[in-house]
Amino acid sequence: MKYVISSILLVSFVGLLSIQLSGQCNPDSFATACIPKLATGFNFLKSYKVDGEGGAKEKVEYSYVFTKGTQYMINLCANGAATDGIVVTLFDSGRNKVATSKINGQFISAIAYPCNATGIYYIQYTFDGSSGKCGGSALGFKR
């Protein structure tokens, strides 16, 4: 019996340890790494941390005023596979979907958005089958 209890607790200990390790997220490094990946001609504006806190958060959201006549680029960086299931979706101030990085089931690592309507936009990051739920993103612009 003593052996069984010890085994269960040991397994719990190892399990918790692995959760702790896998839960470590350093979105700053991903966000910083994303800046030079903006396409040529785009000026850097902001970097965003995308930390799903190990699954505690379903989405991470930021907002920004986009202006007519300016082209914006939002890219994604994550561990392993290009976007690790992180999807960026752009909504206008009325919460209408304007753009997404998941097209026909394909995860795209950057979206280019030539803005035709000035307003507040919501930049929302979600996790679609993401293993790490951790990444970063950069926003750039060009005229």
Partner 1 sequence: MRIVMICLVASILLASCGKSKKPDEQAFLNSLDSAKKGPTIDEEVINSILQQIPSPLEISVLLKESGTKYNFGLLNTPENLSKYNSNYKKALNLGIYGTDLGYTNIYQQNQDGIKYLASIKSLANDLNIGQFFDIETIGRLATNSKNLDSLLLITTQNFNDINHYLQTQGRANLSVLLLTGGWLEAMQITCQVAGKDPKNKELKEKIGEQKIILEQIVLLFSFYKEDENMASLWKDLDELKAAFDKINITYTYKESTMEVVNGVAIIKDNSTTTIDVTDKDIQNITSITNSIRNKIAS
55: Cα within 13 Å, side-chain hemisphere: 7
Site map (CB under 8 A) of partner 1, residues 61-90, x = contact: -xxxxxxxxx--x----------------x
Is position 110 an interface residue for partner 1 (rule: CB under 8 A)?
yes
Element containing residue 86 per DSSP (H, E): strand 86-91
> Of residues 9, 59, 80, 81, which one binds partner 1 by CB under 8 A?
9
End-to-end CA distance of the chain: 72
Alpha carbons 22 and 47: distance in angstroms, whole number: 23
Asked whether 76 and 88 are in contact (CB, 8 A), the reply is yes
Is position 21 an interface residue for partner 1 (rule: CB under 8 A)?
no
- Comparing CB distances to partner 1, the nearer of 59 and 97 is 97
Residue 78 structure tokens: 């994550």
Residues that bind partner 1 (CB under 8 A): 2, 5-6, 9-10, 12-13, 16-17, 20, 23-24, 35, 39, 43-47, 53-54, 56, 62-70, 73, 90, 92-94, 96-101, 103, 106, 108-120, 141-143
